[in-house]
Amino acid sequence: MNYDQFGGLTGTDLQGFHQGGDTELWKRLGSFVATVDGEDGPISGVRFAVWAPNAQQVQVTGDFNGWDAHDLALIPGTGVWGGFVPGAGEDALYKFRVRGVDGAWREKVDPMARFSEQAPTNASIVYESKYVWSDDEWIARREKSRAHAEPMSVYELHLGGWRPGKSYLQLADELVEYITWQGYTHVELMPVAEHPYAPSWGYQVTGYFSPTSRFGKPDDFRYLVDRLHQAGIGVILDWVPGHFPKDDWALGRFDGTALYEHADPRQGEHRDWGTYIFNYGRNEVKSFLVSNALYWINEFHIDGLRVDAVASMLYLDYSREEGEWVPNEYGGRENLEAIDFLRWVNLHLYERHPGVLMIAEESTSFPGVTKPVHEGGLGFGFKWNMGWMNDSLRYLELDPVYRQYEHNLITFAMVYAYSENFILPISHDEVVHGKGSMMQKVPQDDWRKFATLRAFYSFMWSFPGKQLIFMGSEFGSRPEFNEATGLEWWVSDLWGHRGLQQLFRDLNALYRANAPLFELDNSPEGFTWIRGDDAERNTLSWVRHDEAGNHVACITNFSPEPLTDLPIGLPEAGVWEEILNTDSAVYDGSGEFGNLGQVTAREQPWGHFPAQTNVTVPPLGAVWLRRQAGPATP
């Protein structure tokens, strides 16, 4: 039987891959249902293609041939082995058998597989999407968005731990309903790419192009994203280009050599994590990774990628002692190849999809993370503010009597607030591995724990920058995160927990309705201190502004003592509406300390303000006051 053994794939098709410029590699490598011309007419089957340049022989084996061997042929000059298998079809299970330069056979899953078996099995699965999207309106709006000047409150979650046992299709109902009720603008999903070890939470990826089959098929995941979009909710996905696991059936030593990774362990291994590091200087690896980033956005309509562990990519000496790393060509510690790769992926994605969000989890002071590439930066849109997170949580954990001595912890972030475009993260990393839940971090009894958390989150939602919290924080989950048991949803009906959950709903609604809280996040013109030095009373106060001249004054009291008749300055005289009081009974507060719905500022200079008034601020509580240029909105 004569037919095109490569199913139409040619060396010309692979030139961009070898030059590092092919950013749609999933259209060329992997498995594809195809029809080729035979002597007696069309022949249906599957075309397979895999990169293994140093292999002596490559075979494909699967349930279509009784797991026997079907030899693939080397496409001349490409390092890619390909073949067409008649009679194979969609949903077929398969693996590659690769005989390396050492003569040893290795059974490998397809690096480009678009669907995979659920662990502990790991075969790749031939899959063709048939999904028809219904989010055109969302995508059109996203392309015209101005993310930095728009509200962004992100709910981070682990799909398997949010409500264990739920499928993508079930989550499309339950998650959409919950996020809509709570009012977050985005969800951020911890990695959904296929991974064998559940406690890794998806951060050790073996199937970069394959949504995990734990919750259903790839088109089921598309449906979840589509439903979120139709509800007006953006979807950010955690992406892990910094390292990959050493499972012998996955990417590592794929053709018997260090193909995707560096051969030198001083460059190619993360000892802390027991993983390999990608070789960012290799064109084919760059093509693989940039294609993967674009794949999630093109094929699954993902709205943004949060790039995990960027610091580990930027520094050659990351978590290494002297003599355990290889300097760059200039003798420095910066990983120049990784920096070039990050710039390339950011440039390409923003060019292909205006409005997409590229977010760096970067824990150092590396300059210009969110600066444009043409200005010498890395080109990310946002950076997680890890300094704010660390300082704020240290302050939160102090007994109130000691907070006055560490006041700078809660104010220092304003010193560098405009150096990058920040997201304020209280993420999964802060409630695992013995760190304790947010409830456990706060000292003293439950009344003070809940009051302090309500004050803290209102402080966070009014601080310059976008916001992110991890699932369960919104109702005061007491245990640390455990992906195997999920969240204790039953407590959300109890005193304190329910009030906190209601506060988050109102915070999100107020945040989205009041432009001063988000429009000028990245400009000093959007923020004015009332008092940042009131350490003795553990109190912070500021005014947020928008371009139209509206104002929201935010006063937070981290002391257990109420503040009555606290004098503050304000930018305008007149009536200021009290739009938030975290001590309200609806939040399970005492309901005893407030301002009867409003305060009136009189024209009398106070500090650098032309007007002043007196406010009551509850113990371990916060008050927001609004002054609008036009008619007030509810």
Residue 521 contacts residue 148 (beta carbons within 8 Å): yes
**Torsion sign over Cα 469, 197, 125, 279:** positive
In whole angstroms, what is the distance from residue 559 CA to residue 567 CA? 17
Active site residue 136: no
In whole angstroms, what is the distance from residue 261 CA to residue 230 CA? 40
In whole angstroms, what is the distance from residue 487 CA to residue 471 CA? 8
Which pair of tokens denotes residue 190?
A: 């911890």
In whole angstroms, what is the distance from residue 131 CA to residue 513 CA? 35
Which is the catalytic residue, given 220, 238, 337, 361? 361
In whole angstroms, what is the distance from residue 227 CA to residue 174 CA? 11
In whole angstroms, what is the distance from residue 553 CA to residue 578 CA? 9
Helix (H), strand (E) at residue 617: strand 611-617
In whole angstroms, what is the distance from residue 507 CA to residue 516 CA? 14
In whole angstroms, what is the distance from residue 87 CA to residue 621 CA? 68
Active site residue 361: yes
Which residue, among 472, 460, 470, 363, has the nearest Cα to 420 in the 3D structure? Answer: 363
Q: Please name the residues in contact with 177: beta carbons below 8 A apart, sequence gap of 6 or more.
A: none
Helix (H), strand (E) at residue 207: strand 207-211
Which is the catalytic residue, given 117, 308, 430, 506? 308
Q: Which residue has the tokens 């989550």?
A: 171
Q: At what angle do helices 168-182 and 497-513 cross, to 10 degrees?
A: 70
CB atoms within 10 A of CB 571: 17
List, by residue number, the catalytic residues: 308, 361
